[in-house]
Structure 1
Amino acid sequence: MAVSKCNRLNGALIKELLDSVESVLFDCDGVIWRGDQAIAGAPEVINSLKKNGKRVFFVTNNSTKTRKMYADKLAKMGFNATEDEVFGTAYCSAMYLKSVSKLKGKVYLIGSNAMKEELLNVGIEEVGTGPDPITGVQIDWANVPLDPEVKAVVVGFDEHFSYMKLNRALQYLSNPECLLIGTNTDTQLPLEGGKAVPGTGCLLKAVETAAQRKAQVVGKPNHFMFDCVANQYGLDPAETLMVGDRLDTDILLGSNCGLKTLLTLTGVSTLADAKDHQLSGCPDRLGMVPDYFVETIAELLPALQG
C-alpha cells in the first residue's frame, strides 16, 4: 500500500485497498446518507462489500438514536444491515459504564430517550431525561434534591438542556467519586444549506466548566469507539478501514487506532482542510490527514462489482 497520505483513490488502487482489509467502519451522516436521503450508490456499496465477504459496521457520534432505530433507518434506505452492526454513542456509553466503569448505581442523564433505552438495556437506571424547569432562588438550586444512588453523570445530546440541568450535574459532580462521561465533543451539527446547530460538545463543555472536571469521552475520535466494535468482533486494526467525512472525528479515530482511513467529500470536511493539516507539520493535525479520499463512496462500486 502507498506510504504517502491524502491520495486520490481510483483505478487499481481501489481494489488494492479493499483487498487489504477484512472490515470496514462507516460513519453515517455525510457518508452513507444526508438527513433522510441515502447518498447515491451508498446502499449498493455497503451491500456489495458484504457480498464480497467484508464485515461492515456503522459508527456514529449521534446519541439520539438506539441501535434498533438506526437499523430500521438503514433498512428503509436499502442497506443490508443489522442492529448488531450499529455502534452509536448511546450504546457505546452504556457499554463503557457496564464493562469499563462497572457502574453500581444510577446515572444522571443529560441526554435523549434513546440513551435512556440503551442504558436500561444493560441494566443501568437513569434519572434526568426530559425538561427540568427552574424554580426557587440560588440557595434552592444549590440544595436541589439529589438521588443518592446516582454514581455517574452522562452527557449526550439533549434538546432540553437548561440551567437547572447544568446545576444538577454540578451538584452530583461535587462528589469526587461521581463519574463524568460524555458521548462526544462535536461542537456543531452541520445541516443542509450550510446551516448548523450546537452539538453535544457545547453541552459537555458547559458541564465540565461548571464542575471543573474533565469528562471521559467515549465517541470518536476516542479509542473506545473502535474498541467497542473490535472487542465484540475480533477486528484487526491493520485490516480495518475507517470511512468518514470528518477529519477531527472519523479520520482521527482511524489514526488513533492504527486503521486505514478514507475521507469522502460528501459531508463536512474538504480536501483543502486535509491538505492544510498535511502541510502544517503539527503532529496533532497530521492525525487528521486521511490515507485516501474520494468524492463519494459510490466510486468504490466498480471495483466491487467488477
Structure 2
Amino acid sequence: MSGSKCVRLTGALVKQVLDSVDSVLFDCDGVIWRGDQAVPGAAQVINLLKEKGKKVFFVTNNSSKTRKMYVDKMTTLGFHVKEEEVFGTAYCSAVYLKTVCKLQGKVYLIGSNAMQQELEAVGIQPLGMGPDHISGKQADWANVPLDPEVKAVVVGFDEHFSYMKLNRAMQYLSQEGCLFVGTNRDTRLPLEGGKAVPGTGCLLQAVETAAQHRAQTVGKPNNFMFDCVASQFGVNPDHCLMVGDRLDTDIMLGSNCGLKTLLTLTGVSTVADAEDHQKSGSAERQGMVPDYYVESIADLLPALQG
C-alpha cells in the first residue's frame, strides 16, 4: 500500500512500536477473542505486555456486560485483568451521565441488565428494563404515563426493544431539557461464520427518527471513551497504541485522539477496506486508515518473548 500508513507490523518494527508506547488499548470481540474463544496467543500477548510494565486497557462498544462480567470472561480465557482496566459502554454511559451531564434525576433506559447495574452503581435510577407490551389505541400511546423524575433517555442494546419502548422514549424526549444518550452507533453485530444481527445503532436510529433529535454517543469512535481512560490513569496519547478490528470505530477512535493505531485482521475490517479509505481522497475516511496492521495480535509475541 502506498504512503506511510497501513504498514504491516513485522520484524524489528514490532519492538520499535511497542517501545514507543507505555499504554495499549484493546478492543475485545474480534481482537482478543471471537465469540467464546480467545484468539490464539492473545492472552500471552496481554499478560506479557503487563509483565513488561505496559498499561493495558480494554475498550468495547458492547453494552450488554458490566465490567465485572468482562473480567469473569477474560479470566476464564486466561487473561490477567482487573475491573478498573475495562471500559465498556455500559460503564462509560453511567460515568458520562454522572460526571459530564451531572444528571439529577432518573433515566428511561432502553438497554440491558448490565446497563441497569452500572447506572445504579453511580447512584442513577433507571426505569424501563424488560419487555414493554402494547395495549389500547394510538391516543393511549401518545398519553402513556411518564415519570416526572426522568431527565434522560439512554439507548443501548436491548433484546426487548419494541414499538412501545420507542414510543415511550419519544414521549420523554418531547419534554424540554430531557437528555438523549446512546451507547454506540454500531449497526450490525458480527457473529461467527459470517452471520450478523442488528446492533445498537439500529435501535438508536429508530429513537432518533421518532424524536427528531440526535443523541450524544459515548462509545467509539467518540473521544469520550479514551477520555474516560486517560482521566483515570493519566494516559498520554503520544505514547498510546489503539488495537482494533474495525476501521470505523477502533481505528477512528485512535485517529480522533491522536493515538498510534493497529488493525488486526481477526475481526471485521480488511486491508482492502483500509486501502479504499486511503485512496478515497476524503479527509474523514483518512481517519479510518490504521498506522499498522497484523494478521493477529499473536504477531506481537516474538518481540515480547525476545
TM-score normalised to structure 1 length: 0.99
- SS of equivalent residue, structure 1 residue 24: strand
Residues 272-302 of structure 1: CA deviation (Å, up to 9, x unaligned): 0001001111001000000000000000001
Residues 177-214 of structure 1: CA deviation (Å, up to 9, x unaligned): 00000000000000111111000000000000000001
Residues 71-111 of structure 1: CA deviation (Å, up to 9, x unaligned): 00000000010111000000000000000000000000000
CA distance in 2, matches of 1:304, 1:273: 29
> Match of 2:295, as an amino acid?
E
Where in structure 1 are there 5+ consecutive unaligned residues? none
How does 1:9-20 map onto structure 2 within 5 Å?
Answer: 9-20=9-20
CA distance in 2, matches of 1:194, 1:272: 17
| Distance apart, 1:4 and its partner CA | 1.3
Q: Does 1:4 align with 2:7?
A: no
Cα RMSD for the two superposed structures = 0.6
| Distance apart, 1:176 and its partner CA | 2.7
How does 1:40-59 map onto structure 2 within 5 Å?
Answer: 40-59=40-59
User: How many residue pairs align between the two structures?
Assistant: 304
CA distance in 2, matches of 1:176, 1:80: 46
How does 1:124-273 map onto structure 2 within 5 Å?
Answer: 124-273=124-273
- Structure 1 runs, 4 residues or longer, greater than 6 Å off: none
> Match of 2:212, as an amino acid?
Q
Residue 294 (structure 2) aligns with: 294
Where in structure 2 are there 5+ consecutive unaligned residues? none
CA distance in 2, matches of 1:172, 1:273: 40
Residues 198-249 of structure 1: CA deviation (Å, up to 9, x unaligned): 0000000000000000100000000000000000000000000000000000
CA distance in 2, matches of 1:109, 1:227: 24
CA distance in 1, matches of 2:148, 2:4: 54
CA distance in 1, matches of 2:228, 2:108: 23
Residues 131-184 of structure 1: CA deviation (Å, up to 9, x unaligned): 000000000000000000000000000000000000000000001300000000
Percent identity, aligned pairs only?
A: 76
- SS of equivalent residue, structure 1 residue 293: strand
Residue 65 (structure 1) aligns with: 65
- SS of equivalent residue, structure 1 residue 261: strand
CA distance in 2, matches of 1:35, 1:123: 32
Residue 74 (structure 1) aligns with: 74
CA distance in 2, matches of 1:22, 1:263: 18
Residues 242-274 of structure 1: CA deviation (Å, up to 9, x unaligned): 000000000000000000000000000011000
CA distance in 2, matches of 1:129, 1:240: 37
- SS of equivalent residue, structure 1 residue 153: strand
Residues 43-95 of structure 1: CA deviation (Å, up to 9, x unaligned): 00000000010000000000000000000000000001011100000000000
CA distance in 2, matches of 1:58, 1:176: 36
CA distance in 2, matches of 1:282, 1:70: 36
> Match of 1:106, as an amino acid?
K
- SS of equivalent residue, structure 1 residue 53: coil
